[in-house]
Amino acid sequence: MDFRGALERKLGLTSVNYKYNLSKDQLFHEAIENDRGRRRVDGPDTEQKAFPTKLGVDGPLVFYTDPTCTGRPVNDTFAVAWPEIESDVWWKDNMKPFDPDKYEGLLKRVVQHVNDRGGHLYVQDVYAGADPSYSVPYRFVGEYATHAMFAHNMFPKQVEGIENVEEKRWTMLNVQSFRCDPERDGSLSDRAAIMDFRNKLCLVLGRADYCGLVKKTIFTVMNYLLPNLGHLSMHCSGNIGGRDDTAILFGLSGTGKTTLSADPNRRLIGDDEAGWTESGISNFEDGCYAKLIDLNKEAEPIIAAALSMKGTIIENVPPLPGKAIEETDPQELDLSDASITENTRFAYPLTCNPNVAAGARGDHPETIVLLTADAFGVLPPLSILDGKEVMYHFVQGFTAKLAGTEVGVTEPQAAFSACYGGPFMAHKPSVYANLLREKMDQHKARCVLLNTGWSGGPAGSADRISIKNTRALLDAALNGDLHGDDVEYDMHPVFNLRIPRSCSDVDPAILNPRHMWKNKDAYDAAADKLRGMFRTNFEKQGFGDFGIDAVV
């Protein structure tokens, strides 16, 4: 079917010119010439948004979002509350129900706005998911060439073996020039990101030009669709070892999900989003969207090298003082400059990694790793989990980090995000937890809780667990060395976790966290305090009502 006819039938777009499936070189030039909007709170909507560096088209594109949208606008994210899906969706602050009548009126006004405005829209046809058993044809339609280029970077361009492509196709209509009216449209502000599960449509409106919306919106859709097919959608990284042994790593930002999956001895499946079907693990994406703030180029050489690569996108990294971005080599950029946002980002193709698994797919995982970075210094560096414990820690999705908002503040803050991606989980957490448990049991996967945080005290008064020890513990877990019948364990007295007494290449003294604290009473108090946080979150989220056992 001709895409123009499809868009006219689906949306009613009749007075628009399209720039369809342009190459990344073409989109690079289009973005610089045509992407216009606000870059400063008090600035006009006519400012240039996208820029070349000194490398020109042979280097990255630098893009600046609206200053009020340097991350996903969680308060303005909705799904249309159609009757057939209303009871299935996990409604929460970052996924609110949108009134169907209000939505239908809003959609008509958006289409009329686009038709009246004329001009052109960029269309990029890609796929979400590398496995044809669930892969969703995904059509981006929007006003910014940068967003089309981002879709080109981040998603597979072709997936063979999909039946009924047009019937399965989802469309994103991204209209930055439309301003919502809350009283008229039912939004909460002048912008909105709305998922319409009945009509397979994602609507992004207003000052919502953060590139991550092009990715995370369809990820949320996939999190709704896959469980309905019996598949597990996951916010995780994955890789494959020399024995063709697959592993997946769940974790929130700062826990090591990307770093630990980038192992030179293992082939990378992906670093952020994946599906687990009856044929194994597969990446949703064909690219990476990495944080850049304070990037250590020596520790992350792949990302550092990709900064200068052709066809990539750098987002919200400020120009150097007194130097135009067009005259700047990408390697000169100050990656510690958070004056625009701490959420500076970088989108690059998966092929920038030197060791990618064929087809970004792997067999069923032998090992599942739940990552946390405990800044309280309480949790063991590694714990062995059984099925009930996996479900509990999976739905809790715990990590903890320093507050970091004021000089001298070192009190850790707990962060809980269900299934290690709560905002993007469209179903209730138990749906994903039950699928994880079923697939673990079916394929006899082992699971560990790996703590990459602090030991011997809280952050600010103790050291973080060394990457050397973390790597050694992870390697032992991936090899199955910590799950044998002859492995001896201690039980954590507060969290009921099994702690191995020894591990190859690791000082056994560090394995039990209480032993690392000089003041044992202070450790016990910290452990009791953290257990209280776990219990409070468990009750607050109602996980017990979802059938999850309270193992802590």
Catalytic residue among 66, 125, 272, 337: 272
The whole-number average pLDDT for the span 7-22 is 96
345 in catalytic set: yes
3-state SS string for 30-66: HHHHHCEECCCCCCCCCEECEEECCCHHHCCEEECCC
Residue 272 known to be catalytic: yes
For the chain, what are the domain ranges? 3-50+72-228, 232-287+358-546, 290-352
Residue with tokens 């409106």: 205
Which of 38, 139, 152, 216 is flagged as catalytic?
A: 216
* 115 pLDDT more than 70: yes
Residue-level pLDDT at 406: 40
Q: CATH classification of 3-50+72-228 is 3.90.1150.10, yes or no? A: no
Is CATH 3.40.50.10490 what the domain over 232-287+358-546 is classified as, yes or no?
A: no
- Phi–psi pair at 462, nearest 5 degrees: -145, 170
Look at residues 301, 251, 305, 293 and name the one whose alpha carbon lies nearest to residue 273: 251
243-274 residue pLDDT tens = 999 999 999 988 989 889 888 899 999 999 99
Across the range 376-398, mean pLDDT stands at 97
**Catalytic residue status for 179:** no
- Higher-confidence position of 101 and 294: 101
- Determine the angle formed by the axes of helices 387-396 and 429-443, rounding to 10 degrees: 150
Q: What is the pLDDT of residues 168-214, one digit of tens each?
A: 999 999 999 999 999 999 999 999 999 999 999 999 999 999 999 99
Q: How far apart are CA 211 and CA 220, in angstroms?
A: 15
How many other CB atoms are found less than 10 A from the CB of residue 79?
Answer: 25
Residues 114 and 13 sit within 8 Å (Cβ to Cβ): yes
Give me the pLDDT at residue 1, please: 53
Q: What pLDDT is attached to residue 193?
A: 98
Among 215, 345, 427, 446, the active-site one is: 345
pLDDT at 410: 53
* Residues sharing a CB contact under 8 Å with residue 20, sequence separation 6 or more, in sequence order: 3, 123, 125
Examine the pLDDT at 127 and tell me if it is beyond 90: yes
According to CATH, the topology of domain 290-352 is Phosphoenolpyruvate Carboxykinase; domain 2 (2.170.8)
Predicted confidence band of residue 407 (pLDDT cuts 50, 70, 90): very low
Q: Which residues lie closer than 8 Å to 184 by C-beta, 6 or more apart? A: 105
Which single residue is written with the structure tokens 């032992």? 476
pLDDT digits (tens, 9 = 90+) for 65-111: 999 999 999 999 999 999 999 999 999 999 999 999 999 999 999 99
Q: Catalytic one among 38, 39, 235, 401?
A: 235
For 434-493, the pLDDT digits (tens) are 999 999 999 999 999 999 999 999 998 999 999 999 999 999 999 999 998 889 999 999
Q: Which is catalytic among the residues 253, 279, 308, 466?
A: 253
Can 267 be counted among the known catalytic residues? Answer: no
* CA–CA dist 188, 206 (Å, integer): 12
* Catalytic residue list contains 258: yes
What would the mean pLDDT of 318-328 be, rounded to a whole number?
97
Catalytic-labelled residue, pool 147, 191, 200, 257: 257
Mean pLDDT, the chain, integer: 95
| Count, residues in the chain | 552
Q: Which residue has the tokens 């499936």?
A: 21
Q: Say which of 38, 49, 72, 361 is annotated catalytic.
A: 72
Active site residue: 70, 146, 258, 261, which one?
258
232-287+358-546 matches 3-50+72-228 in CATH topology: no
Q: Are strands 273-277 and 246-250 parallel, antiparallel or unpaired?
A: unpaired
Q: What is the pLDDT of residue 12?
A: 96
What's the average model confidence in pLDDT over 301-328? 95
